[in-house]
Amino acid sequence: MFPAGFQWGGGLAANQFEGAWDADGRGPSQADFTRYNAKLDPTDMELISGLDTILRWEKEGGVFPKRWGIDFYHHFREDIALFAQMGMNSLRTSISWSRIFPHGDDAEPNEAGLRFYEEVFRCCHEHGITPVITLSHYEMPMRLVTEYGGWENRQLLVFWERYCRTVLSRFSADVSHWIAFNQINSALFDPFTALGVLADPTRDEQRIWTGVHHQLLANALAVKLGHELAPRARHGSMIIEVNAYPRSTDPLDNFGAYRYRQEALMHSDVMARGEYPGFARRYLREHSIELPWQPGDADLLRENTIDFLALSYYTSEVAGAATRIFGVGGWGAAREEMKNPLLQRTPWGWQIDPVGLRTSLNRLWDRYRIPLVIVENGIGEIDQVGEDGRVHDDYRIAYVSAHLDAVREAIDDGVEVFGYHPWAPIDIISSGTSEMKKRYGFIYVDQDDEGHGSRRRVPKDSFDWYRKVTASNGADLDPTTF
Ligand code: BG6
């Protein structure tokens, strides 16, 4: 049974839906430079390998959809009203760092950026929606990438502290839960997106681990500042949850799958327990990688562990004796090209596995014993608008219903889960491919991959279904009625 006060939310990210990338003093963020090119197959996107590539894409007239998102910046009142109609009582989104500190190293914040979030949060509260806020969702001001080298540079902690102090104190009464970083554990296989470090995970491991250490310090610092400046809120961070089945009953495959999951939890081990786990220390030792420890670092990590752990869950995987996360090139390379024959997949090849979510929630609870919140879970699909002008997305309803059922089971197993934020309450730009056609929302947005369209918002069937779910506090998950 879902407890009273359960957060019925929706998950979003500033860089994927706000748009208005250069409005009212906002500076460019690294997400504004991730490109969509209609000529490329989405599964064959050119990886960002260096600044030269980005600059070349700009010159070639590349399409950068995150710059316009779905223009929430100018539609936020209408969108939040729709979220409230669905019965949402919380909204997980992020603050764009470069809306507040346009270049990252500015001495003073951009007041217009602060005012934007003030209005958004006020509007949320007017509709009975509590903001759950990520401080950095896969973006930092671009200058921190190009001039400073992202989290590889310890100086970022100075800018980060300034940013955290500014928003935590300004919005201390508005936000119930703060999440320092989105999917912080993806740094090891996607260093540009998560760390702002232009590096190849197979060759530049020392640089990436340097960035990882600085980012973990930044997480602890955000928790510390949060407890001081926003004491009524709870302060946590977020991981991408990786649940992998062994490819066979061979004990080596079983251990390989176990180690794969263990490596995916390295970040949450540090954030929840305050120190690097033994398996990470062994890896670093054996690969001659040195973390850039300075006096005070160990205390900072130990004394500022997270109050709760947020997670995204989309899929499960299959892993074998040789599968690793540490030291592999990119998320795709971290997985073996194996799929579970018992599971169906989305058009983007992601396995649909609600039982895996129940397993994950139990495992995380057993490991950390701190409250959990799901801040992303959903299905990317190619929606068709019917003749009646609506999207009849029974596949999305089936997906969310089955995953919510798994959450309910986990809660009945004794796991403390305080919220569920489906990704996403409204269609937005895809993080990985910058596509619009990979739609997750309960509200359709009339816009194509290149930004053409009226941007009209139209509720899908899932919108009505989710309203039924929230109204019954999750007691009615029947996917066939709404
Ligand atoms: C998570 C990210 O990895 O997955 C989100 O935190 C992202 O930002 C979501 O949108 C789904 O991925 P994608 O690539 O389909 O948008």
Per-residue pLDDT, 331: 57
The HSE-up count of residue 404 (CA atoms within 13 Å, CB side) is 30
State the distance from the centre of ligand 1 to the C-alpha of 331, rounded, in angstroms. 13
CA-433 nearest atom, ligand 1? 14
Q: Over the chain, what is the mean pLDDT?
A: 93
349 band by pLDDT with thresholds 50, 70 and 90: confident
State the distance from the centre of ligand 1 to the C-alpha of 348, rounded, in angstroms. 12
State the distance from the centre of ligand 1 to the C-alpha of 61, rounded, in angstroms. 25
Per-residue pLDDT, 43: 37
User: Which among 43, 189, 376, 428 is the best mutation to test ligand 1's pocket, defined by most ligand atoms within 8 Å of the CB?
Assistant: 376
* Protein residue with least CA distance to atom 14, ligand 1: 432
Per-residue pLDDT, 44: 37
pLDDT in tens, 85-117: 999 999 999 999 999 999 999 999 999 999 999
**Residue in this structure with the two tokens 């109050």, named with its chain if needed:** 307
* Protein residue with least CA distance to atom 4, ligand 1: 431
* Protein residue with least CA distance to atom 10, ligand 1: 431
Instruction: Report CA-CA distances (Å) from 385 to 279, 443, 461.
Output: 50, 12, 11
8 pLDDT above the threshold of 50: yes
Backbone angles phi, psi at 146, to 5 degrees: -75, -35
Identity of residue 6: F
- Of 335, 327, 328, 311, nearest to 415 by C-alpha is 311
The rounded distance, in Å, linking the Cα atoms of 1 and 7 is 13
User: Which among 135, 185, 186, 312 is the best mutation to test ligand 1's pocket, defined by most ligand atoms within 8 Å of the CB?
Assistant: 312
Per-residue pLDDT, 402: 98
141 band by pLDDT with thresholds 50, 70 and 90: very high
User: Which among 182, 237, 431, 439 is the best mutation to test ligand 1's pocket, defined by most ligand atoms within 8 Å of the CB?
Assistant: 431
The rounded distance, in Å, linking the Cα atoms of 477 and 397 is 9
pLDDT in tens, 215-266: 999 999 999 999 999 999 999 999 999 889 999 999 999 999 999 999 999 9
Task: Name the β-bridge partners of 125.
Answer: none
51 pLDDT above the threshold of 90: no
Per-residue pLDDT, 192: 83
State the distance from the centre of ligand 1 to the C-alpha of 430, rounded, in angstroms. 6
State the distance from the centre of ligand 1 to the C-alpha of 7, rounded, in angstroms. 21
* Protein residue with least CA distance to atom 7, ligand 1: 431
Q: 110 and 99 in contact (C-beta within 8 Å)?
A: yes
pLDDT in tens, 375-407: 999 999 999 999 999 999 999 999 999 999 999
pLDDT in tens, 12-26: 999 999 999 999 999
The rounded distance, in Å, linking the Cα atoms of 311 and 236 is 11
Give the DSSP letter of residue 136.
E
pLDDT in tens, 178-206: 999 999 999 987 888 899 988 776 778 99
Query: Can you give the pTM of this predicted structure?
Result: 0.95
State the distance from the centre of ligand 1 to the C-alpha of 364, rounded, in angstroms. 21
Per-residue pLDDT, 335: 61
Per-residue pLDDT, 363: 97
Q: Which tokens hold the place of 303?
A: 């004394």
Q: Residue 434: CB partners within 8 Å, gap ≥ 6?
A: 34, 35, 36, 63, 64, 65, 66
State the distance from the centre of ligand 1 to the C-alpha of 148, rounded, in angstroms. 26
Task: Name the β-bridge partners of 134.
Answer: 94, 179
Per-residue pLDDT, 199: 76
State the distance from the centre of ligand 1 to the C-alpha of 431, rounded, in angstroms. 5
pLDDT in tens, 294-330: 999 999 999 999 999 999 999 998 998 988 889 876 5
State the distance from the centre of ligand 1 to the C-alpha of 276, rounded, in angstroms. 27
State the distance from the centre of ligand 1 to the C-alpha of 410, rounded, in angstroms. 24
* Protein residue with least CA distance to atom 12, ligand 1: 431
Q: 368 and 309 in contact (C-beta within 8 Å)?
A: yes
Give the residues surrounding ligand 1 with Cβ less than 6 Å away: 13, 16, 138, 182-183, 240, 312, 376, 380, 423, 430-433, 438
